[in-house]
């Protein structure tokens, strides 16, 4: 059955329930309950007194009684109708149109191949404020899980049941665990060809898959946890199962550590890209996983896949046993695997071919292997863009390998922006240099924004005032944009210049082997932009981390090239002054014609 037909069935049922005036989520739940009631009745899983029939439709008063009794049944049926106590407040006559429609669809054979996963995935977010996982992402996660016949699978945080249904087959045992009390997962299970267990618990705080006082070990775990969740400190302090060796509040870190304890063959988990490069607990986790050989694959996904957020995410495939000496990095953000559906949104395509390519384990243009040792040397960074490189980056690496280079930290010191938040009467005015003030050629000419600083900043933060030939580099937002401070910059103090909060200042010493003007032109050049793009990270806002910047390899030019760079910059500055003068002269040419004064 096509997705459009699946959507029509659900949509028509929801429209037939509009008179009840429920929320969109509750309307969807009720529509699924109607379908489940029809299916259970037609397959003979319900006794005659609980089955839906045209005869029962003629007795509105009994409808709600039967629905309430269904909620008292055991296992999945009871879970699927667990909100039965709400039925007592409904007008049974308002249910009749939906029940009549569902019975007609069943009699016409329209429900024979009904796929609940495809149906509700096609509806999101139209009929539900709760975001559903896109069908294509669900299929990719299920494909990467690679569940074998006879295996059991753990699927936590699946509040809709779509992921659990996608990994369930006739010979698998699937255990869904959700902290959200909803009838939908049980309804999806009942409406699917193969059923899965549904359990309600918080996987981190109170895991339910426990046997003999120990966490149950499944063959495979697959999950798409909520992004950006943080837990209170008591979660790690009060853990009964020693899952969390490092104390952290990061939901992503805790989720990975939990899954590694609940699975023995494979873990597949979607994570925000920030986990792949952030410091702190995220970095400690990455180092441990990489060093232990537990990271098998990292797949970078296109931005704009999720309905209610533009958060970029990746998929990790982990081996709980460990011992791997290589990591496979796959870039799925290519035209062959995605297509645009709007200006900001896209969807996956050719998912089956992507899974086949990943399983082939062969290196391609968008898929490579990196050694564990190499990844550890790269600060245990797991961003796919650090390993799957475009041709321009490969050419740059070849050039660096053949040239004399030094790390940026050996050439300059870095100066962070000055705090500028004062509103006191005795505060001092300064000028901020932001990304918009960095010209394409020559020196920075005019800062764009006046700010106030505390009087003590003149002494405490004196070094953070910009000095002649300081290089201002944007490291957040418009990353990589760069400018250089002119010789005649005002001295520190009132009307002095300071860098904006999205910038870092690179300050050269007089004894450095490269003139700051030559360094500036190298960073501004095509080569420099490529160098800087290689260290850009960020899940939603692009940024350059300081430790990455300090380790950046820079070409060390000889004296002749340095001198040529200095002369070039000075000529750019002279030409810019001439251009500014000509523009001013141009603006005055016709000023006396048809003037109002």
pLDDT digits (tens, 9 = 90+) for 503-552: 999 999 877 788 999 999 999 999 989 889 888 887 667 889 998 999 99
Decide if pLDDT at 14 tops 70: yes
Please state the φ and ψ torsions of residue 195, each to the nearest 5 degrees: -100, 155
Axis-axis angle for helices 516-524, 526-533 (nearest 10): 70
Rounded mean pLDDT, 322-347? 93
Q: What's residue 33's pLDDT?
A: 94
Rounded mean pLDDT, 278-290? 95
For domain 410-578, the question of CATH label 3.40.50.300 is answered with no
Token pair of 75, please? 């296992």
Report d(CA 595, CA 597) in Å as an integer: 6
- Across 256-290, b (16+ Cβ under 10 Å) vs e yields bbbbbbbbebbbbbbbbbbbbbbeebbeebbeebb
Token pair of 320, please? 């709980």
Show the CA angle centred on residue 88, arms to residues 83 and 91, nearest 5°: 115
How confident is residue 455, by pLDDT bands cut at 50, 70 and 90? confident
Token pair of 557, please? 């030019």
Which ranges in 500-590 belong to alpha helices (H)? Answer: 516-524, 526-533, 546-550, 559-588
Mean of pLDDT over the chain: 90
Rounded mean pLDDT, 441-470? 88
For 384-433, the pLDDT digits (tens) are 989 998 777 778 778 878 888 889 999 999 999 988 766 666 788 899 99
Report d(CA 593, CA 583) in Å as an integer: 18
Higher pLDDT, 92 or 179: 179
Higher pLDDT, 2 or 27: 27
How confident is residue 165, by pLDDT bands cut at 50, 70 and 90? very high
Q: What is the DSSP letter of 275?
A: G
Token pair of 186, please? 């049980």
Token pair of 185, please? 């997962």
Cα separations (Å) of 252 from 106, 227, 286?
43, 7, 12
| Residue listed under structure tokens 């645009």 | 340
Decide if pLDDT at 280 tops 70: yes
What's the half-sphere exposure (Cβ side, CA atoms, 13 Å) at 369? 13
355 burial via Cβ count (<10 Å: 0-12, 13-18, 19+): middle
**CA-based nearest residue to 2, from 161, 112, 109, 119:** 119
**CA-based nearest residue to 158, from 218, 203, 122:** 203
Given its phi and psi angles, is residue 448 left (phi above 0), alpha (psi -120 to 50 degrees) or beta? alpha
Q: What's residue 129's pLDDT?
A: 45
Report d(CA 23, CA 95) in Å as an integer: 15
> Which pTM value belongs to this model?
0.84
Decide if pLDDT at 556 tops 50: yes
Element at 55 (helix H, strand E): helix 54-57
Radius of gyration of the chain (CA): 31
Report d(CA 447, CA 497) in Å as an integer: 7
412-415 and 471-474 beta bridge pairing: unpaired
Rounded mean pLDDT, 310-321? 93
Q: What is the DSSP letter of 134?
A: P
**CA-based nearest residue to 247, from 234, 263, 229:** 234
Q: Which residues contact 381 (CB under 8 A, 6 or more apart)?
A: 276, 277, 286, 375, 537
CA 222 to chain centre: 17
Pick the CATH number of 131-388 from 2.40.30.60, 2.40.110.10, 3.40.50.150, 3.30.565.10: 3.40.50.150
Given its phi and psi angles, is residue 280 left (phi above 0), alpha (psi -120 to 50 degrees) or beta? left
Q: What's residue 284's pLDDT?
A: 95
pLDDT over 90 percentage in the chain: 60
88 burial via Cβ count (<10 Å: 0-12, 13-18, 19+): exposed
Which ranges in 434-550 belong to alpha helices (H)? Answer: 457-460, 516-524, 526-533, 546-550
> Contact, 309 vs 301, CB < 8 A?
no
Report d(CA 577, CA 575) in Å as an integer: 5
pLDDT over 70 percentage in the chain: 95
> Contact, 207 vs 241, CB < 8 A?
yes
Rounded mean pLDDT, 581-596? 86
Report d(CA 210, CA 224) in Å as an integer: 21
Q: What is the DSSP letter of 364?
A: B
Token pair of 494, please? 């009132």
**DSSP track, 295-345:** EEEEEE--TT-STT----EEEEEE-TT---SEEEEEE--STTTEEESSSS-
Decide if pLDDT at 493 tops 50: yes
Q: What's residue 360's pLDDT?
A: 92
How confident is residue 72, by pLDDT bands cut at 50, 70 and 90? confident
Token pair of 179, please? 């902290």
Higher pLDDT, 319 or 406: 319
**CA-based nearest residue to 388, from 297, 452, 468:** 297
| Helices and strands, counts by H and E, the chain | 21, 24
Q: Where are the domains of the chain?
A: 3-117, 131-388, 410-578
Q: What's residue 127's pLDDT?
A: 45
Please tell me the least confidently modeled range out of 198-202, 303-307, 506-510, 593-597: 593-597
Show the CA angle centred on residue 541, arms to residues 536 and 545, nearest 5°: 40
> Contact, 301 vs 180, CB < 8 A?
no
**CA-based nearest residue to 26, from 108, 82, 103:** 82
Which ranges in 17-114 belong to alpha helices (H)? Answer: 24-42, 54-57, 60-70, 75-80, 92-107
Computed from CA positions of residues 314, 318, 323, 328, in that sequence, does the dihedral angle turn out positive or negative? Answer: negative
């Amino acid at each position: 059955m096509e997705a459009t037909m699946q959507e029509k069935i659900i949509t028509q049922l929801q429209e037939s329930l509009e008179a009840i005036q429920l929320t969109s989520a509750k309307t969807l739940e009720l529509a699924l309950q109607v379908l489940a009631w029809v299916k259970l009745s037609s397959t003979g899983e319900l006794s005659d007194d609980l089955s839906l029939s045209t005869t029962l439709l003629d007795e509105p008063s009994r409808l709600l009684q039967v629905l309430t009794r269904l909620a008292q049944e055991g296992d999945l049926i009871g879970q699927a109708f667990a909100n039965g106590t709400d039925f007592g407040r409904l007008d049974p006559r308002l249910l009749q149109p939906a029940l009549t429609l569902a019975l007609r669809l069943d009699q016409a054979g329209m429900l024979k191949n009904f796929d609940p996963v495809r149906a509700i995935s096609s509806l999101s977010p139209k009929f539900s404020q709760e975001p559903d996982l896109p069908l294509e992402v669900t299929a990719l996660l299920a494909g990467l899980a690679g569940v074998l016949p006879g295996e059991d699978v753990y699927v936590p945080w699946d509040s809709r049941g779509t992921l659990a249904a996608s990994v369930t087959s006739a010979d698998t045992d699937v255990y869904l665990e959700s902290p959200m009390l909803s009838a939908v997962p049980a309804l999806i299970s009942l409406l699917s060809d193969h059923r899965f267990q549904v359990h309600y618990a918080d996987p981190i705080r109170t895991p339910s898959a426990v046997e003999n006082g120990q966490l149950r070990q499944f063959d495979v775990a697959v999950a798409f946890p909520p992004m950006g969740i943080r837990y209170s400190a008591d979660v790690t302090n009060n853990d009964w199962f020693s899952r969390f060796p490092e104390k952290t509040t990061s939901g992503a870190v805790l989720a990975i550590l939990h899954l590694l304890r609940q699975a023995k063959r494979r873990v597949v988990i979607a994570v925000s890209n920030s986990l792949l490069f952030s410091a702190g607990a995220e970095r400690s986790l990455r180092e441990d996983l990489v060093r232990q050989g537990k990271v098998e694959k990292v797949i970078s996904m296109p931005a704009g896949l999720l309905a209610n957020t533009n958060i970029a995410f990746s998929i990790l495939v982990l081996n709980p046993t460990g011992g791997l000496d290589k990591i496979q990095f796959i870039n799925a953000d290519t035209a062959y695997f995605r297509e645009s559906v709007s200006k900001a949104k896209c969807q996956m395509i050719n998912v089956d071919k992507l899974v086949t390519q990943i399983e082939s384990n062969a290196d391609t243009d968008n898929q490579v292997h990196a050694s564990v040792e190499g990844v550890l040397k790269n600060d245990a960074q797991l961003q796919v863009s650090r390993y799957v490189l475009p041709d321009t980056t490969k050419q740059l690496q070849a050039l660096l390998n053949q040239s004399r280079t030094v790390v940026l930290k050996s050439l300059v010191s870095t100066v962070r922006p000055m705090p500028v938040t004062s509103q006191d009467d005795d505060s001092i005015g300064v000028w901020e240099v932001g990304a918009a003030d960095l010209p394409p050629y020559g020196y920075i000419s005019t800062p764009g924004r006046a700010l106030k600083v505390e009087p003590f900043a003149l002494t405490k933060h004196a070094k953070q005032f910009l000095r002649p030939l300081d290089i201002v580099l944007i490291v957040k937002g418009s990353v990589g944009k760069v400018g250089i401070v002119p010789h005649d910059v005002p001295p520190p103090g009132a009307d002095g210049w300071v860098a904006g909060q999205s910038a870092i200042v690179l300050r050269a010493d007089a004894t450095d082997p490269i003139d700051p003007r030559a360094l500036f032109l190298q960073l501004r050049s095509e080569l420099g932009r490529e160098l800087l793009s290689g260290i850009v990270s960020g899940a939603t806002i692009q940024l350059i981390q300081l430790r990455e910047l300090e380790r950046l390899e820079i070409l060390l030019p000889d004296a002749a090239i340095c001198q040529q760079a200095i002369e070039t910059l000075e000529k750019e500055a002279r030409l810019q002054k001439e251009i500014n003068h000509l523009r001013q002269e141009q603006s005055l040419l016709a000023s006396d014609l048809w003037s109002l004064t």
